[in-house]
Amino acid sequence: MSFLKKFGKVLVKGLGIVLGFGPVVGQLIPGDKDDRVIAKVTDTLDQMSNIVLITEGMLAGIKKATGLDKLNAATPFVEQIIRRSELMSGKEIMDESKFTAAIRQITGGIADLLNSLKPKGVKTV
* Predicted TM-score (pTM) of this structure: 0.65
Q: Which residues contact 34 (CB under 8 A, 6 or more apart)?
A: none
Q: What mean pLDDT comes out for the span 2-15?
A: 55
pLDDT tens-digit series, residues 37-83: 555 656 788 889 999 998 988 888 787 888 999 999 999 999 999 99
**pLDDT of 33 over the 90 cut:** no
d(CA 106, CA 26): 24
Mean pLDDT computed over 11-18: 43
Q: Is residue 97 scored above 70 in pLDDT? A: yes
Contact at 8 Å (CB) between 103 and 75?
yes
Contact, 28 vs 36, CB < 8 A? yes
Q: In the predicted model, is pLDDT for residue 124 greater than 80? A: no
